[in-house]
């Protein structure tokens, strides 16, 4: 294969985590191995994030390989985005051409297939060796998503109606749109990513994963009646695992991110497809890290922030009073000695963060251990602002984080003092460990975090900061650090949309490791 820069088509791109990782891979000569030619995403704020990052990457392929000062001025808030783009019209035009806001799927709802075929052909500019990456939206394959969509009916008829509606959800078959593009355009290599739920998902009563593997191995044959035209290629693929295994069971396709230096226990199905005429029995196994990376090792250098108060006056003084009053609460006497000691120190301390966000980078005590995050030209911490919480939740957050600090694990509802239990209908089920027993979950500082999911956009209960003195949930930037986004990666849109983008993404640092394997495949001649 060629040693030239390999073009990438990125489908279902989200905010661009998978593309960011691949775009960071360098060849033996130190040059960037890949360049995104086209990225497709339907959600408008994620698309705005993609466009900005595409604009940033336009400069990486230039001689000096660095973004202009104006990019950082936009991140600092000293210029508007329109001013940034107007200052560099050529790079902005390239970014707009690369990042497309559209969705593959039902032709009645979304652009016709010809639209995508035309854009892909234009983007590839005749390249024969290229890479396809991405994955269908994960909601339909999510175990929680399936339970919500197929349960909850009052009668058997209601439940059956919900089940049928779920089975007809086009998200189940969006992988066929991905499949059609493989059959039509025949990439040399493809990467397909999805949630673990895809392994147990069923369609028409049958497990969908074996069908996906078979279809991806011979895409045209998967729908030969519809894809019989000469424009469709009869290419066949080897579908490979990226983990150390030879059994080819379902689990062999699951990558556990924490085993590869990612500070997060994120388990995802990732398939590597190599066109058979290009397959040379190359090594395709990720190398595991020597030890796991803990939460605090990647977020502890960020400026400390206080939580906000959502009711009444929100000020550092009022917030401090909430912490002062910890030892006077009725539930304090019920706590075990270790947690009491932690909370007593918090109540007695006067060294508390006063700001709710956006501190300058010069306020950081240290740099993160991994240089992957850093950018010397960046003078601010982007997307680092906290939510506001009700007083009752602040006490719960303080308790949970103090418990985690004292015992090195997050408490279940059964560990809570009675007065701190939330007033939810099914809270007693949680107390009995029947359902949602870990409704409030602190991330343990010395361990990888739990999976950062889209749920973080709704509330922070599952993503409580390990430092009890801050008494809050994680910021977008902290979640982005756990997802291994570089600090100069800016998330557009309101904060809820930013959280959603981060939770939806593939960790770029994991994608980079996969990209290094794929780059070697393209070097084989």
pLDDT tens, 38-60? 999 999 999 999 999 999 999 99
What's the pLDDT tens digit per position in 70-97? 999 999 999 999 999 999 999 999 999 9
Whether 390 contacts 310, CB under 8 Å: yes
Of 88-92, 99-103, 353-357, the range with the highest mean pLDDT is 88-92
Sketch the domain layout of the chain as residue ranges. 6-293+506-523, 296-493
Report the alpha-carbon angle 31-33-39, nearest 5. 130
Of 133, 140, 123, nearest in space to 16 by CA: 133
**273 - beta bridge partners?**
190, 239
Asked whether residue 500 carries a pLDDT value surpassing 90, the answer given is yes
Query: What was the pLDDT predicted at 270?
Result: 96
Q: What is the mean pLDDT of residues 446-472?
A: 92
Query: What was the pLDDT predicted at 395?
Result: 93
Plot region of 235 (φ>0 → left; ψ -120 to 50 → alpha; else → beta): beta
Query: What was the pLDDT predicted at 1?
Result: 45
Q: What is the mean pLDDT of residues 365-388?
A: 83
Burial of 231 (0-12, 13-18, 19+ CB in 10 A): exposed
Asked whether residue 167 carries a pLDDT value surpassing 80, the answer given is no
Asked whether residue 64 carries a pLDDT value surpassing 90, the answer given is no
Q: What is the dihedral of CA 104, 127, 238, 19, to 10 degrees?
A: -50
Give the DSSP H or E segment for 65.
none
Q: What is the mean pLDDT of residues 254-264?
A: 96
Cα–Cα dist 439/203, whole Å: 31
Whether 38 contacts 123, CB under 8 Å: yes
Report the alpha-carbon angle 197-136-186, nearest 5. 125
Average confidence score pLDDT of the chain: 87
Sequence length of the chain is: 525
Of 210, 521, 505, 470, nearest in space to 356 by CA: 470
Assessment of whether the complete model's pTM goes beyond 0.85: yes
Q: What is the mean pLDDT of residues 305-323?
A: 90
Which carries the bigger pLDDT value, residue 247 or residue 402?
402
Given 3.40.50.150, 3.40.640.10, 3.40.50.880, 3.40.440.10, which CATH number is that of 6-293+506-523? 3.40.50.150
């Amino acid at each position: 294969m060629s040693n030239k820069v390999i073009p990438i088509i990125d489908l279902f791109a989200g905010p661009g985590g998978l593309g960011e990782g691949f775009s960071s891979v360098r060849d033996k000569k130190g040059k960037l191995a890949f360049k995104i030619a086209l990225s497709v995403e339907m959600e408008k704020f994620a698309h705005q994030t993609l466009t900005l990052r595409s604009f940033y990457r336009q400069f990486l392929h230039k001689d000096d390989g660095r973004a202009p000062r104006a990019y950082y001025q936009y991140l600092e808030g000293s210029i508007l985005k329109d001013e940034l783009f107007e200052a560099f019209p050529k790079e902005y035009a390239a970014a707009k051409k690369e990042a497309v806001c559209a969705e593959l799927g039902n032709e009645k709802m979304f652009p016709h297939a010809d639209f995508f075929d035309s854009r892909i052909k234009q983007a590839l500019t005749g390249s024969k060796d290229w890479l396809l990456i991405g994955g269908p939206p994960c909601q339909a394959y999510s175990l929680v998503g399936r339970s919500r969509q197929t349960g909850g009916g009052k009668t058997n008829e209601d439940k059956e109606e919900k089940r049928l509606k779920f089975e007809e959800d086009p998200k189940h078959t969006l992988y066929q749109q991905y499949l059609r593009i493989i059959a039509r355009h025949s990439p040399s290599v493809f990467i397909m990513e999805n949630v673990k739920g895809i392994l147990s998902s069923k369609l028409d009563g049958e497990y969908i994963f074996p069908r996906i593997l078979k279809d991806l191995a011979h895409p045209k044959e998967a729908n030969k009646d519809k894809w019989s035209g000469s424009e469709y290629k009869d290419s066949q693929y080897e579908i490979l695992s990226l983990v150390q295994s030879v059994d080819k069971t379902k689990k062999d396709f699951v990558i556990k991110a924490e085993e590869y230096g990612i500070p997060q226990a994120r388990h995802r199905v990732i398939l590597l497809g190599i066109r058979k005429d290009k397959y040379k029995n190359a090594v395709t196994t990720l190398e595991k890290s020597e030890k796991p990376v803990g939460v605090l090792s990647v977020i502890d250098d960020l400026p400390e922030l206080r939580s906000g108060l959502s009711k009444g006056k929100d000020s550092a003084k009022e917030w401090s009073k909430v912490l002062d009053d910890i030892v006077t609460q009725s539930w304090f006497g019920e706590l075990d000695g270790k947690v009491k000691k932690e909370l007593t120190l918090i109540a007695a301390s006067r060294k508390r963060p006063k700001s709710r966000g956006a501190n300058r980078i010069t306020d950081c005590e240290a740099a993160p251990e991994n240089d992957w995050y850093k950018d010397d030209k960046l003078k601010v911490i982007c997307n680092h602002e906290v939510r506001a919480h009700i007083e009752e939740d602040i006490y719960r957050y303080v308790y949970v984080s103090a418990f985690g600090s004292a015992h090195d694990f997050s408490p279940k509802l059964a560990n809570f003092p009675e007065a701190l239990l939330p007033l939810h209908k099914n809270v007693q089920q949680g107390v009995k460990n029947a359902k949602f027993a870990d409704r409030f979950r602190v991330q343990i500082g010395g361990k990888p975090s739990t999976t950062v999911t889209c749920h973080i956009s709704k509330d922070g209960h599952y993503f409580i900061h390990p430092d009890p003195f801050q008494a809050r949930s994680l910021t977008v930037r902290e979640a982005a650090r756990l997802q291994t986004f570089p600090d100069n990666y800016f998330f557009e849109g309101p904060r809820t949309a930013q959280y959603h983008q981060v939770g939806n993404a593939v960790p770029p640092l994991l994608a980079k490791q996969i990209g290094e394997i794929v780059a070697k495949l393209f070097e084989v001649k």
